[in-house]
Structure formats: C-alpha cells, structure tokens
Amino acid sequence: MNPLVSVSWLAARRDDPRTVVLDATLAPPGTPGDPHGRYLERHIPAARFFDIEALSDHATTLPHMLPTPDSFAAAMSELGVGDKMDIVVYEQQGVFSAPRAWWMLRTFGAKNVHVLDGGLSAWIEAGLPIESGLVLRSHPRAAGEGPPHASEAATNPAFHATFDPAAIVDFGHLQRLLAAQAQVLDARSAGRFHGTAPEPRPGLPSGHMPGALSLPFTQLVESGRLKPADELREVFTAAGIDLDRPVTTTCGSGVTAAVLLLGLEIAGATQLSLYDGSWAEYAQRPEATIVTT
C-alpha cells in the first residue's frame, strides 16, 4: 500500500470520526523556527500537534530516540489517537519530519498511517480551509456554527502500543550489518557523508560508516513532494540499492532516515529498518570506524 494520500482523499474524510490528522513539523537542527507556533497560527482543521521532540526518549542525551511503548501510547491517547483509526500526518512545508512520525506510529503498531502528499502547502493551494489555535482531544464549535466536528464524535479513543523490534536497529546490530556488508543507506548530505562538510551538531565529526551508501534525502524530493514511485526506484537503483534485499537507513538523528524509509516503501521495498541512534550515536562511539573519502 502506498502510504501517501492526496488532499482530496483527506478532505473527503475530514468529518469522519475515524480519521485523525497530525501536524508533525520539526525544525532541522541549527535552523531557527517555531513549528508549534506556526501550527497555532494555521493548521488543517482539527489537526493535533505531534511534537517529535516531546515524544522522544528524554532518558538519553541522543536526539529523537524512540520513547517507551507505554509513554508513546499514553501520549497518543491524550491526543485522541485511537486504535484502528486512520491517521494522517503532515508537515507545514516540504518533506523532512512527517515521515519520522509515520515511522514512529507504525513501529508502535498503528496499522492505517498515511502521509499527506504535499503537506499543509498542498492543502492551502487546493483552497481548503485552515484554522488556528490549539486542538487536543476535542474541537469545540460556537453555537450556530454547524454540526459538530468529527473529533467531537469520537469518545475517549485509546492507543495501545505494540512495538515492532524488526523496525529498529541499535548500534550492536548495525555493527553486525556493516560487517556482513548489508545495505546501509545514509540520508545526510554528500559533504557530511564524505567528511568535507561539518555536522550541524557541535562536537561530532563528519564522515560515514564503512560500506554505507550515500543518498541525500533531498534527492527523493521535488517541488516539496516525494517523487513518483518509478522515479524513486531509479534514484535508489542509481545509489546502488537492491530493492529486493533488506535496507537499513540512517542519517544525523533518525529523522531524515525515515524519509528514505518512506521512499523505499513507495518504491516497493519490503525489508526495511532504521538505525535510531544514527550518526549522533555512531560518531560518539569509540569503537566505531569513521571513513572520510
């Protein structure tokens, strides 16, 4: 199943209580911006804010690591995300962080998770309505404003997390994959991969893992959207990826690695995993080999 859905697909289901919309915008490291503030200014009606930073594991100094299943389930239930709901994630502009939210939800057992093709920009370009303010479990409407919104009809949805261990790779597993010459695909820029450009996080050297392949996630994107499936297959093939073999993706902190993962799934790959610690962990490990070429 292609995880992407169009704005017309979502617009037709906006008042369905089984559909929940999540704004999963995250600012890239080292760039100014307030995604939550922009969410409050304008978002798809009834969309809740999926805060990737807040939903990460804060027991580690590594950025954006997966939280525990229980804490994730509690957070999703608080947002009004329930089991068996259709979940649509988007970001405010471009393709960067929404795939991370898609991957997190899938890793914790959500079955019907979609990414809005073109995100909020495509929604606005289509002339569809937006709103402002904070949305949590309910979406109160003023008297005489019309029928209640779908989020008001859904009563106490609950999310029960079922963790998929095959979706995630830790450092030890990664070392074994590298030793076996498995397919490890790096989403960082070519300069960071080859060690000619600095990392955005202070104190980390640039370079890459021995045997890893480079595919900057931006090569999957055109005009703020992921490329079509046939073009994605060409991009992955050109990068040296065999879509019939397992692929593990990595990046700086596990965010844009999910862009590669989403693109791989759209292209038809099925044996996929993500190294959650990514370069933020790998480059700090004294036993890790760093290659610069």
pLDDT means over runs of 10, the chain (293 residues): 94 94 93 92 97 96 96 96 96 97 98 97 98 73 37 68 98 98 98 97 96 98 97 98 98 98 98 98 97 94
Are 267 and 208 contained in the same domain? yes
The domain boundary residue, chosen from 126, 153, 180: 153
Q: Would residue 292 count as lying in a domain? A: no
Are 219 and 256 contained in the same domain? yes
Position 136 scores a pLDDT of 73
Position 140 scores a pLDDT of 37
Are 217 and 133 contained in the same domain? no
pLDDT in tens, 41-71: 999 999 999 999 999 999 999 999 999 999 9
Q: Would residue 290 count as lying in a domain? A: no
Q: Note whether 168 and 64 are within 8 A (CB).
A: no
The domain boundary residue, chosen from 130, 153, 176: 153
DSSP 40-54: HH-BSTTPEE--TTT
The token pair at 42 is 């304008």
Q: Would residue 102 count as lying in a domain? A: yes
Q: Would residue 287 count as lying in a domain? A: no
Q: Would residue 59 count as lying in a domain? A: yes
What H or E segment, with its residue span, contains residue 122?
helix 119-125
User: Could you tell me the end-to-end alpha-carbon distance of the chain, in angstroms, rounded to an integer?
Assistant: 38
Are 37 and 148 contained in the same domain? yes
Position 148 scores a pLDDT of 38
Q: Would residue 149 count as lying in a domain? A: yes
DSSP 171-218: HHHHHHHHHTT-EEEE-S-HHHHHTSS--SSTT----B-TT-EE--GG
Q: Note whether 43 and 120 are within 8 A (CB).
A: yes
Give the structural domain span for 270: 165-282
Q: Would residue 158 count as lying in a domain? A: no
CA distances from 3 to 90, 150, 226, 229 (A): 12, 22, 11, 11
Position 141 scores a pLDDT of 34
102 secondary structure, DSSP code: H
Are 172 and 218 contained in the same domain? yes
Q: What residues are paired with 225 via a beta bridge?
A: 222
Are 68 and 143 contained in the same domain? yes
What H or E segment, with its residue span, contains residue 15?
none
Position 31 scores a pLDDT of 83
Are 137 and 16 contained in the same domain? yes
- 103 burial (CB, 10 Å; 0-12 / 13-18 / 19+) is buried
Q: Would residue 47 count as lying in a domain? A: yes
SS3 call for 69: helix
Q: Note whether 102 and 89 are within 8 A (CB).
A: yes
Q: What residues are paired with 113 via a beta bridge?
A: 87
Are 146 and 35 contained in the same domain? yes
Are 70 and 20 contained in the same domain? yes
Q: Note whether 232 and 198 are within 8 A (CB).
A: no
The domain boundary residue, chosen from 133, 153, 173: 153
The token pair at 271 is 């044996």
Position 137 scores a pLDDT of 63
Are 66 and 141 contained in the same domain? yes
Position 179 scores a pLDDT of 98
Are 8 and 149 contained in the same domain? yes
Dihedral angle computed from the Cα positions of residues 188, 190, 191 and 194, in that order, rounded to the nearest 10 degrees: 100
Number of domains into which the chain is organized: 2
The token pair at 7 is 């704005």
The residues near 276 (Cβ < 8 Å, ≥ 6 apart) are: 64, 65, 66, 168, 169, 170, 254
SS3 for 214-272 is ECCHHHHEECCEECCHHHHHHHHHHCCCCCCCCEEEECCCCCHHHHHHHHHHHHCCCCE
**Does 128 qualify as catalytic in the annotation?**
no
Position 121 scores a pLDDT of 97
Are 228 and 122 contained in the same domain? no
40/55 Cα distance (integer angstroms) = 18
CATH of the domain at 140: 3.40.250.10
187, 251, 259, 272: the catalytic one is: 251
